[in-house]
Amino acid sequence: MSNNSPVCVVTGGSLGIGLAVCKTFAENGYRVVNLDIRPFDITPAHCEWVSCDVSKVSDVETALSSVASKYERIDALVCNAGKHVSATIEETDEALLDSVINLNIKGAYAAIKYTLPMMKLQQSGAIVVMGSDQSFVGKQNSFAYGLTKSALASMAKTTALDYASFKIRVNAVCPGTVETPLFHNAIDNYVAKSGANKEEVVAEEASAQPLGRLGQPEDVAELTYFLCSDKASFITGSLYAVDGGYTAQ
């Protein structure tokens, strides 16, 4: 890896989809910087972890300023950090709503805002915002989460239009049900409340997808990498479902 190798910044890259994204970019010649509140369990080659609470705009600004100073380039940004909450609007108090908005929306806002100056200077760059199947459709018991994922879809489209003249591309990848620690945590919470059998619940989730399986983090990471590559040079302002056909129903 040389000092001229491209640089990718990933938020929330220590687990699940974010970790797969870090590994995929690193395997394709990028130096990868992971902004996350927790470190990698095992740091992948050509990746580094920067401690950052992505829900705090000032933390993200400080981290990205450091990245820009150290590498003098940011070629790709993947806004992946996020949290899931299962609750209706009545079950969502203000503190819970604020916590979801702060991480899912303001975290992406901050990462994009403080990456854009370097990309504008370069007159190049690719940004991927991690949406959800809920960027397209509503789901029960998912008020705050669905709200934020709809907002991220809008963020990708408006930013793509605002910065196209700088040759900066912005797209959203919208995963469906993907088998990650976040997925298993949500299932565990449901099982604890309902008394259901976890294996049966996981099997039901898989069978709900037209392709008959859960998505894997690598499914999402490969598309994310493609959208940041030169092969996607005429793609911007688009939303891409990676959901096994769920939202086509």
Look at domain 7-176+216-242 and name its CATH class.
alpha beta
Catalytic residue among 145, 163, 225, 246: 145
67 and 51 in contact (C-beta within 8 Å)?
no
Please compute the mean of the pLDDT values over residues 134-138 and round it to a whole number. Answer: 97
Residue 85 tokens, joined? 């909450």
- Residue 133 pLDDT > 90: yes
7 and 33 in contact (C-beta within 8 Å)?
yes
**Catalytic: 225?**
no
Across the chain, what does the average pLDDT equal? 97
Residue type, 247: T
SS3 sequence of 212-249: CCCECHHHHHHHHHHHHCHHHCCCCCCEEEECCCHHHC
Please compute the mean of the pLDDT values over residues 45-73 and round it to a whole number. Answer: 98
184: CB partners within 8 A, 6+ apart? none
Residue spans of the domains in the chain: they are: 7-176+216-242, 179-214
3-state secondary structure of 32: strand
The terminus-to-terminus CA distance of the chain in angstroms comes to 44
Query: Residue ranges of the alpha helices (H) in the chain?
Result: 16-27, 57-71, 94-100, 107-122, 143-163, 181-194, 198-207, 217-228
Residue type, 47: C
Round to whole Å and give the CA distance between 63 and 130. 20
Round to whole Å and give the CA distance between 86 and 89. 10
What pLDDT was estimated at residue 189? 86
- Residue 190 pLDDT > 90: no
Residue type, 30: Y
What pLDDT was estimated at residue 2? 75
Task: Point out the least confidently predicted range of 151-165, 182-196, 214-228.
Answer: 182-196
